[in-house]
Amino acid sequence: MITAPFGNWESPIDAAMVAGQFISFQDLVVDGNDIYWSEMRPLEQGRYAIVCSQDGASNKDILPIEYSARTRVHEYGGKAFTVDKNILYFVNDRDQRIYQMLPGMPPSAITEPGTRFADLHITPYGIIAIAEQHTPNQLPINYLACINISSGEITPLHSKHDFYAHISITPDCTHIAWISWNHPNMPWNNNELWIAKLSNAGLSHVQRIEANNANQSFFQPQWDKHNHLITVSDKENWWNLYKVENLSLTPLFSIKAEIGLPLWILNMSTWVYFQNNILCISTEGGTNKLWHFKDDHLTQIELPFTQLTQIRTNQKKLFMIAGNSESPTQIISLNPDFTYKTIKTSGTLSIDPDYVSKPEHISFPCTSERTAYAYFYAPKNKKYLNNDTLPPLIVKSHGGPTASASTGLNLQIQYWTSRGFAYIDVNYAGSTGYGRAFRLSLEGNWGIYDVEDCVSAARYLIKTQRVAHDKIAISGGSAGGYTTLSALTFSTFFKVGASSYGVSDLAALATETHKFESKYLDRLIGPYPEAIQKYYDRSPIYHTEKLSSPVIFFQGTEDKIVPPEQSERMYLSLKEKGIKTKYVLFEGESHGFRDAKNIVAALEEQRKFFISVLELA
């Protein structure tokens, strides 16, 4: 073995492997015995392809290469396609129109440009979907819509709320359920569950579930074959399953784990009816488990996976996206006896496990008598020994901030750990996976608790002698970029940072961002503009005199969520002060990088920057 300084180890996990070896699975759709899914392909400039496995046979691309199935509703999208009797209906990324594609035929547009669609459902009345109408210089208008497949005519069904999600229609198409919410709520804070009768004439008998309890967040309502409704709610702190009876909720069972998810993406699925029983996925921290609810008993199904998402069924088999910390993500099918088969993996690359660092879930004390959580990855490379020193540490602040660190194989993390960096992925206050109270604890405290928790995570590792005290870096994207910039500005703990499309000006974010998040800060910071002083006090851009650590910035030109001006202003301010900095702008990228060449460039530039500042060369 070779003795070499941490941070300089050579690794077979290079940036090109991180960017291009693995695709990313998105939506799953079942049509009879066929399973369809979308996959984001970095080597095709981030295109979203649709693939079909017909009755367990070989996988086949069915979407022509000039099309990409991606919806921009809420900017984050979700369920951009559906399939009914072998006919594909999808939203095309370039123009956001709905297309129909019959077997053996090219796609044909149904709708005109100007309105975006998501969560498509085929009914005898037309395509029922979430619509988002865009008019220049106006906020988008969101509503439930019915689209005539022949003419493309759009008929609004319900438009009394700011946002809509999780359409569910009974098998006989006589009833509908949906989730909606209004500003300043976000869907994981408080939302509403509605039901109505559905017919060719539209909606009737519209009723709200649990109208007397506004302080809860619903997720994934779903009808059974007898038109009974079950939904997820966090009314008792944890997102658990409830049956709807007389417009009220009755719990099916109670576990201290989350069966819901924050609705950043539409039509996520954590549970299904399966052969008169229920299968559900729970989240504890960042780890998933599969449960079988039968005869009022809840039994865990043992599988070799710690990441499970998008569970679907055709009542003969179950399908889901699965992964763990050591192998690529895959689409699997489960038989009724819960034996599984792999349909497709996200990559064919075989990685030597001696280069893969496994996550260790830790908890640690924080300020205000709080506890936070994280996944720690130690450096690992079979060819190298350390030189009797402690490794440098990268602290990762995830996005959202209502997201969470997870345990699936993440080659970006392994890129660092296989080169001799320690890495900690922090689930700070506000993260999902630890109950409603923990998730809402960041309200009014963004820029404070998240920063304190990232610092506390690093201090914990220093105290336990696992990392070097003087070589601590922090990185994050989007909301995690804000935490990164705040930590570098309002503390002197970190030596260097990397911000990807991060927020530096809270007031600008509140006034310039897209509709979905335009009131998010009312809860995280305070009502705007009434709390304008808090926005100023917690915006790194106005306090660069406190910043003395180098920062590298990454940004996409087409970002509508955090516009490029936020990164540019911060970069120019640091440059004027003479602080080491760099600004990398990617043409055509939006909020998150999808083109392989840009992912490679960002990772390599960040590594060079960190090595230089931390003096690891």
Q: In what order do the strands lie in the sheet with 87-91?
A: 81-84, 87-91, 98-101, 108-109
What residues does CATH 2.130.10.150 cover in the chain?
A: 23-270
Collect contacts of 316-321 with beta carbons under 8 A, ≥24 apart: 316/33, 318/272, 318/274, 318/279, 319/28, 319/30, 319/35, 319/343, 320/28, 320/281, 321/25, 321/28
Are the C-beta atoms of residues 203 and 157 closer than 8 Å to each other? yes
State how far the alpha carbon of 534 is from the alpha carbons of 453, 540, 545, in Å: 20, 12, 18
Question: Which residue type is seen at 226?
Answer: H
Question: Residue 404 carries which DSSP code?
Answer: -
Confidence at residue 128, expressed as pLDDT on a 0 to 100 scale:
98
State how far the alpha carbon of 444 is from the alpha carbons of 436, 512, 525, 592, in Å: 15, 20, 5, 26
- β-strands 108-109, 98-101 pairing: antiparallel
Are the C-beta atoms of residues 582 and 609 closer than 8 Å to each other? yes
Q: Which of 232, 267, 222 is nearest to 253 (CA)?
A: 232
Q: CA 200 to CA 371: how far, in whole Å?
A: 53
Question: Which residue type is seen at 245?
Answer: E
Q: CA 460 to CA 362: how far, in whole Å?
A: 10
Q: Which class for 172: exposed (0-12), middle (13-18), buried (19 or more C-beta within 10 A)?
A: exposed
DSSP 423-437: EEEEE-TT-SSS-HH
Q: Which residue bears the tokens 């038989």? A: 335
SS3 274: strand
List helix spans (H) across 397-541: 411-417, 436-440, 449-463, 479-490, 506-512, 520-524, 532-537
Q: Which of 425, 565, 580 is nearest to 501 (CA)?
A: 565
Q: Which residue bears the tokens 């992925």? A: 425
Are the C-beta atoms of residues 18 and 599 closer than 8 Å to each other? yes
**Sign for the pseudo-dihedral over CA of 434, 437, 440, 441:** negative
Q: In what order do the strands lie in the sheet with 141-147?
A: 115-123, 126-133, 141-147, 154-158
Q: In what order do the strands lie in the sheet with 551-556?
A: 360-366, 370-377, 422-427, 393-397, 472-477, 496-500, 551-556, 581-586
CA dihedral 415, 418, 420, 422 (to 10 degrees): 70
Q: Which residue bears the tokens 């809270």? A: 506
Tokens read off for 426: 């922090």
What residues does CATH 3.40.50.1820 cover in the chain?
A: 355-614
Q: Which residue bears the tokens 């709610």? A: 233
Confidence at residue 56, expressed as pLDDT on a 0 to 100 scale:
65
Angle between helices 449-463 and 479-490 (to 10 degrees): 70
SS3 111: coil
| pLDDT tens per residue, range 36-70 | 999 999 889 889 999 999 876 789 999 999 999 99
- Intervals of the chain under pLDDT 50: none
Q: How many residues belong to the chain?
A: 617
355-614 carries CATH number 2.40.110.10: no
Give the fold, CATH level 3, of 23-270: Methylamine Dehydrogenase; Chain H (2.130.10)
Confidence at residue 124, expressed as pLDDT on a 0 to 100 scale:
98
| pLDDT tens per residue, range 420-442 | 999 999 999 999 999 999 999 99
List helix spans (H) across 193-339: none
